[in-house]
Structure 1
Amino acid sequence: MAFLKLFTISLSLLLLISPSLSLSSSSSSSSSSIHNLLRSKGLPAGLLPEEVNSYTFSEDGHLEVFLDAPCLTKYENRVFFERVVTANLTYGSLIGVKGLQQEELFVWLPVKDIIVDDPSSGLILFDIGIAYKQLSLSLFEDPPHCKPQDGLRNHVRKEKGFKAQR
């Protein structure tokens, strides 16, 4: 009888604790808090655009960022964000980035890692596969606005005197 009572109490406690365990392993929030999360991990908030819809971040460091649609923005060069961007987030780095590309000399290259080794240097390192690129941290202070992929391409064509063909 005592065993059954102990089992019932243990089961009740497990059921009460299990929802809180699942919440602590993953969090989902709005775009403003993704920028706060980046800052808390030693990275600039402007690595991700304002248009982030939501994100999940698990205890093992896996980060998934969700945008409403793929979009383009510009830091030093143009950058393309897919609808979902994933990476392993640790202090000072985003490793194994997927869903982010940077334009270099008219070629789109995937960004693989983003690292801030020494914040006092004022530099951030981008691994774009074939090379490492160092940029000023000041380029990433504020989250940029990201334009829908087609909207930015048409805007560039119009500036250069070309009409968008349909």
Structure 2
Amino acid sequence: MSLVTEEIKLKAEIYHGDELCQAKAKELLEEIALPNGLLPLKDIIEVGYNREIGFVWLKQKKSITHKFEKIGRNVSYATEVTAEVEKGKIKKLNGVKAKELLIWLTLNEIYVDDPPTGKITFKAYSGLSRTFPVTAFELEEEKSSGVKDV
């Protein structure tokens, strides 16, 4: 069941198509001072943002699992990811799980201390939390020549 109601959609900015949605997801992360690689979704079909209540949703064609190489952790993203956002924080997160040892933990909050060079903390409903460097979730920006920084 989707948490995105018609009432929420009425006052939201809604975008469709993977290329535009990828750009809008990165813009949103930048706007709320979170690392730009935090949402490595594929084949995004819709992104919506209701600024009035700070509610965001992202829909992708199928769920994916992404490994954040810099921290060696797998994170699973459902076909629909929803959250309430504010500067430096994502709360009431739905659709995201992180693998801790042998079990998947549903994440419900992400926040950054002292952005952009500080630490990022992920909290699960179980009460467990893990903190990592923000840099582990940043994408390397491409130079205008199309060559990535090394």
**1:32 and 2:29 matched:** no
Greater per-residue helix proportion: 1
Greater per-residue strand proportion: 2
Identical residues among aligned pairs (%): 25
TM-score, normalised via structure 1 length: 0.68
Summarize deviations over 1:73-131 as a string: whole Å, max 9, x none: 01121100000001101111110100000000110000110001311552101002331
Equivalent in 112, 128, 134 of residue 131 of structure 2: 134
State the SS of the aligned residue for 2:13. strand
Could you say if the C-alpha distance between residues 119 and 99 of structure 1 is closer, same or farther in structure 2, counting changes exceeding 3 Å? Answer: same
State the SS of the aligned residue for 1:44. coil
**1:107 and 2:103 matched:** yes
Q: Which residue of 2 aligns with 1:54?
A: 46
Residues paired across the two proteins, number: 122
Cα separation, 1, equivalents of 2:25 and 2:136 = 18
Task: Return 48-57 or 99-108, whichever deviates more.
Answer: 48-57
Q: Which residue of 2 aligns with 1:158?
A: none
Where does structure 2 lack aligned partners over 5 or more consecutive residues? 1-7, 16-20, 141-150
Where does structure 1 lack aligned partners over 5 or more consecutive residues? 1-21, 144-166
TM-score, normalised via structure 2 length: 0.74
Equivalent in 45, 64, 71 of residue 64 of structure 2: 71
The answer on whether the counterparts of 2:119 and 2:132 sit within 8 Å (CA) in structure 1 is yes
- Kindly report the root-mean-square deviation, in angstroms, between the aligned alpha carbons of the 2 structures: 2.0
Cα separation, 2, equivalents of 1:64 and 1:50 = 12
Q: Which residue of 1 aligns with 2:115?
A: 119
